[in-house]
Amino acid sequence: MTAPVPKAITLHKQSKVLELRWDDETHHLPAELLRVLSPSAEVRGHGAGDRILQTGKKYVAITHVEPVGRYALRLVFDDGHDSGLYTWTYLRDLGDRQERHWAAYEQELKQANASRLPAVTLKAWTPDA
Q: What is the pLDDT along the chain (129 residues), one digit of tens a residue?
A: 577 899 999 999 999 999 999 999 999 999 999 999 999 988 887 766 678 899 999 999 999 999 999 999 999 999 999 999 999 999 999 999 999 999 999 999 999 999 999 987 777 777 775
Q: 8-111 has which fold?
A: NE0471 N-terminal domain-like (3.30.2020)
What three-state secondary structure class fits 101? helix
Residues 6 or more apart whose CB falls under 8 angstroms from that of 61 comprise 13, 16, 31, 77, 78
Strand order of the β-sheet with 17-21 is: 8-12, 17-21, 26-30
Q: Which helix (DSSP H) or strand (DSSP E) does residue 21 occupy?
A: strand 17-21
pTM of the model: 0.88
Given a contact cutoff of 8 angstroms between Cβ atoms, the answer to whether 50 and 44 are in contact is yes
Give every CB contact of residue 51 below 8 A, 6+ residues apart in sequence. 43, 44, 45
